[in-house]
A = this chain, B = another copy of it.
C-alpha cells in the first residue's frame, strides 16, 4: 500500500479498492471461509455449508452499505438501492433471498418524513421479491458528523448450485440484462442540475424474479446454462468484466455496437466526459451462458420488465487471457481497462 491515508478511490470499486482489500483485509483475516465460496474468492457473497440439508444446498451471505448523496434521486431513493443491491448480490450467486437486515445511520436533523419514505421504499422493494426484512439497527450521529443517511443491508439466501463470478469458459456468450450506465449517469446529471427532459433515471431494481427462471434452465445433459454471473455496480461493466476475465483466466471480446445504451445516457456521457462502461449500474446483471443457449436465455429475460433490453454483448475467448477487448463497428479494437475506481463518487 503506497498511500498513508484512505482516499476516495479506496472505496470506489476499482483497482485501488481491490489492492486495499487484498493487502489489508485478506491478509489479516485468518478465518474467512464457512463453505465452498469464502472471502478469498472475492465474489458477490460467500457461502455457508450446513449439514443435513436435503437437497444439498448452501446458504449465501452478503452485505453492502450505501452512502449515496443525495439520498433522493431520479426516480427513487437510497432505500430501493440498498434493498436491491443486497438482493442482487444474492441473485448473482444463484441464491434465493431468504431474509434481509436493515441498519440505518441517521444524522441529527434528518427529516422524519424522509426517513419514513425511505423505509417505505425499502418495504416496497423487498415486497417485490417477497423477502422479509427481519432485523435491523438504528444509530444516530451529530449533525456535523455525517452529511446524509447511510444504510447497510445484509442478506441471507439459499442455493443448491451457487454461481461464481469466476466460472466463464472460452466460447461462452456474454449477456447483459439491460441498458448500461443508467444509474451513475443519471445521478451525475441530477447532481449537476442537467435536465435532459428524458427518462434518465436510476435503474435500481431487485433482480431475483428476473433471474430465478433462468437459473432453472438446464442443458439436455442437465447442467445449468449459466456459467458465471455478476452485477456490474461500482466501476461498471469495465470493472466487473475485468474481474470475471481475470478470475476465469480467459479473454472477453465485446462488440461495442451490441452494448445497449439509452440515448440520454450516451448524450449525457458526452456532455460530462464520462465513460458509461465505468459507471455503476444498480439493476443489471452480466450473465455468462453456454454457447448455443444464449437466445433461449435472452428470450426468457425479455419477458420480464427488468430484462426487456437484455442483449448479447460479446463472448469469452481463449486468447487475451485476463483482458477485456472492445471491438467497434469498423473492426477497431481497444482494451477496456480496469478503472482505478468508479469516476462518480458516492454513487451507491
Interface residues of A (CB under 8 A from B): 1, 3-12, 17, 20-21, 24-25, 28-35, 38-39, 45-48, 50, 52-54, 59, 61-67, 69, 98-99, 101-113, 115-116, 119-120, 122-123, 126-127, 130-142, 144-148, 150, 152, 154, 156, 158, 345-346
- A137's partner among B4, B33, B65, B98 (CB-CB below 8 A) is B65
Given known pairs A112-B4, A133-B29, the reply for A48 and B141 (CB within 8 Å) is: no
Q: Do A141 and B63 touch across chains, with their CB atoms under 8 A apart?
A: no
- A10's partner among B6, B31, B103, B138 (CB-CB below 8 A) is B138
Q: Do B48 and A99 touch across chains, with their CB atoms under 8 A apart?
A: yes
Given known pairs A67-B139, A120-B28, the reply for A132 and B6 (CB within 8 Å) is: no
Contacts of A139 in B (CB 8 A): 11, 65-67
Q: Do A145 and B147 touch across chains, with their CB atoms under 8 A apart?
A: yes
Given known pairs A6-B108, A106-B6, A138-B17, the reply for A24 and B116 (CB within 8 Å) is: yes
| Known A3-B112, A11-B106, A17-B138; 5 more pairs at CB < 8 Å | A11-B105, A30-B127, A59-B156, A61-B101, A152-B154
Q: In the bound complex, what is the Cα–Cα distance between A18 and B34 (angstroms)?
A: 35
Q: In the bound complex, what is the Cα–Cα distance between A47 and B119 (angstroms)?
A: 21
Q: Do A34 and B112 touch across chains, with their CB atoms under 8 A apart?
A: no
Q: Do A108 and B5 touch across chains, with their CB atoms under 8 A apart?
A: yes
Query: Which residue on B lies nearest to A10, using beta carbons?
Result: B140
Q: Do A34 and B147 touch across chains, with their CB atoms under 8 A apart?
A: no
Query: Which residue on B lies nearest to A110, using beta carbons?
Result: B6
Given known pairs A8-B108, A115-B6, A156-B61, the reply for A134 and B32 (CB within 8 Å) is: yes
Given known pairs A38-B134, A116-B24, A133-B39, the reply for A5 and B63 (CB within 8 Å) is: no
Q: Closest CB-CB distance, A31 to chain B, in whole Å?
A: 4
Q: List 10 A-B contacts (CB under 8 A).
A: A7-B140, A28-B116, A32-B133, A46-B135, A52-B54, A64-B137, A65-B105, A65-B152, A103-B152, A105-B150
Q: Do A138 and B53 touch across chains, with their CB atoms under 8 A apart?
A: no
- A109's partner among B5, B64, B116 (CB-CB below 8 A) is B5
Given known pairs A6-B108, A108-B8, the reply for A132 and B63 (CB within 8 Å) is: no
Contacts of A156 in B (CB 8 A): 48, 59, 61, 156
Most buried by B among A31, A38, A48, A113: A31
Query: Which residue on B lies nearest to A144, using beta carbons?
Result: B147
Contacts of A105 in B (CB 8 A): 11, 65, 67, 150
